[in-house]
Amino acid sequence: MGERGGKVQVLLSTYNGEKYLAEQLNSLLEQTHPHLFITIRDDGSSDNTVAIIQEYVAKFPDKIEAFYEENIGVIASFFNLLSRHTHSDAEYVCFCDQDDVWMAEKLERAIYLLNERAGQNPMMYVCPTQMVTETMEPLNIWPPAPHRGTSFLNALVENIAVGATTVLNCLAVNILQQNLPNTKRIVMHDWWAYLVVSAYGKVIYDDKPYIYYRQHQNNVIGGQQGFYDKWVKKWRNYKKHRAQKILWNQAKEFERCWGKELPLEFQSELKKFLLTNRGIVRRASYAFNTRLYRQSRLDNFVFRFMMIKGDILK
């Protein structure tokens, strides 16, 4: 597949993951990329997860290290890994979930594409996932490819980056570490990475999936394919979070961290989105004229309707 590149550090956060963790660790150790190191932070597990981790650390001390710490939640746990446990000699860093399975060539493919577009820019690789059942039977590929392209104007209102597929170059890691967010005011660590890297660097999207994304009782995306089912799901999701204004709050946190350093074009779009106390007429005008976008027509329609209603904007 071409040049293999340097050291990759995998950041894995675990919590009560005894059922699938060994299978995931095996898939990491079977990667075709040879320069791999796995850093695990256990987020206060109460099941057999710690024992499984200790077994793998003892067996592969040159490949795996682990930190056993108090429970702080998945978002904060990944930022803890990113800010406290990254290695200075890692050329690439990636996020990893405890219950997926990686295809053997995942890292080699990501590094090949990152090297192919190498430059003095923060860069992030993402790809879709092959969704599977608990017993690894294939479902559909998710999420759909971002046909309208990746950009900061998309990242403000939609996340196309599944964390477990993400690979960051060292420049992207450095910039993410510069201004750490209040994790209670952001949606997810992968969305935050998409925001930051799309503002200051490049996001590479690979159309082919390279991980098996397991669906089970505690991790269900849903595989609805019909228009009606998708509409109902998106409507319920927006209604569920509208009181929290999660998109607005995340954008406000991004402004706190990065607002003064953004390119002027992005500063303008961010300020327009964060403007408060707009009546319905001004909200409608903004909804119809904003450059911000989501990838699908259905998402765009729902997004703009919710802006007009006041369920996204303040």
What whole-number distance in Å separates Cα of residue 270 and Cα of residue 78?
A: 26
What whole-number distance in Å separates Cα of residue 273 and Cα of residue 271?
A: 5
Helix axes 264-274, 246-258, angle to 10 degrees: 140
What whole-number distance in Å separates Cα of residue 252 and Cα of residue 14?
A: 29
What whole-number distance in Å separates Cα of residue 218 and Cα of residue 220?
A: 6
Residues of the chain where predicted confidence (pLDDT) is lower than 50:
1-2, 222-224
- Phi and psi at residue 137, to the nearest 5°: -85, 135
What whole-number distance in Å separates Cα of residue 18 and Cα of residue 47?
A: 7
Continuous H helices in 121-208: 152-155, 170-178, 189-200
Specify the amino acid at residue 118. A
Instruction: Output b/e per residue, 102-138; b: 16+ Cβ within 10 A.
Output: bbeebbbbbbbbbbeeeeeebbbbbbbbbbbeeeeee
Q: What whole-number percentage of the chain has pLDDT above 70?
A: 90
Q: By the 8 A CB rule, do 116 and 39 touch? A: no
Q: What is the largest CA-CA distance in the chain?
A: 64
- Provide the pLDDT for residue 118: 79
Q: By the 8 A CB rule, do 166 and 193 touch? A: yes
Q: Exposed/middle/buried for 204, CB within 10 Å: 0-12, 13-18, 19+?
A: middle
Integer angstrom CA distances of residue 74 from 20, 96, 196, 206, 305: 17, 11, 19, 25, 31
- Is the previous residue joined to 143 through a cis bond, with omega within 30 degrees of 0? yes
Q: Find residue 212's DSSP bridge partners.
A: 101, 130
- Provide the pLDDT for residue 61: 98
Half-sphere exposure at residue 97, Cβ-oriented, CA atoms within 13 angstroms: 23
Segment 179-222, tens digit of pLDDT: 999 999 999 999 999 999 999 999 999 999 999 999 987 765 54
Domains located in the chain, CATH noted: 8-214 (3.90.550.10), 227-309 (no CATH)
